Amino acid sequence: MSGGEREFPDEPAGPFPTPPREAVDDERRTIRYRAVGTDLGCETARSALVDMYRAFDPADRAQGIPPSTESAIADWLDAILTDDARNVVAFADATDAAVGHATLVPDGDVYELAIFVLQAYQGAGVGTELLRTALGHGAATGVDRVWLTVERWNGPAVALYRKTGFETDEAESFELEMCLRLAPSQTESTG
């Protein structure tokens, strides 16, 4: 499927903050959000993400990703940590470990989005900040349309995407398909 078959909202969502930035989560932990390639080297990001995904709970896997074995995780990261993708990693300030990852992967002239947050950091606002920062990074670097799929039963994720400005389209599937438009001029500047 490509962008041409999808219905994107007419009105852009946002404004969204751009990386690098930090924010305190609902449990008073400082989280740093950094863009791969600009704030953070690709190799550093890759090894931090391998560690994060090895610790990932299988219950939080979605439609087959992240993969379960270390070699499959490495192959998958190679495919999405490319120069033309946009990746933002959330680091816990206390341990310097990766605790979240958002990625925008090119699909023709639009982008497919996915976000993952380590279990111990879910429900504390990290996913919201990570998603908003990834969209800000995308908007600032020429991304104007984003789509994703999410399992229909995943209520918290669907609510997060709706709150951020994603709208569901008409695709009939096990998964819900959602789309969002970005305006490059609307990024927030935050620290």
Q: Give 39 or 107: the residue with its C-beta nearer to another protein.
A: 107
Two tokens, residue 24? 């305190």
**What x/- string results for residues 31 through 70 when contact with another protein is judged by CB under 8 A?**
-------------------------------xxxx-x---
Rounded CA-CA distance 9/29 in Å is 35
Distances in Å between the alpha carbon of 116 and those of 6, 65, 113, 141? 24, 10, 10, 21
Distances, alpha carbon 35 to alpha carbons 66, 83, 115, 171, in Å: 20, 12, 14, 31
* CA gap 147, 138 in Å, rounded: 13
- CB nearer to another protein: pick between 174 and 191: 174
Hey, what are 112's tokens?
Answer: 């497919």
Residue 107, beta-bridge partner list: 110
Query: Please, which residue, 5 or 51, has the CB nearer to another protein?
Result: 5
124 versus 157: smaller Cβ distance to another protein: 157
The interface mask with another protein, positions 111-150, x = CB under 8 A, is -xxx----------------------------------x-
Nearest approach, Cβ of residue 15 and another protein (Å): 25
Look at residue 157 and give its three-state secondary structure.
helix
Site string for another protein, 73-112 (x = CB under 8 A): ---x--xx----------------------x-xxx----x
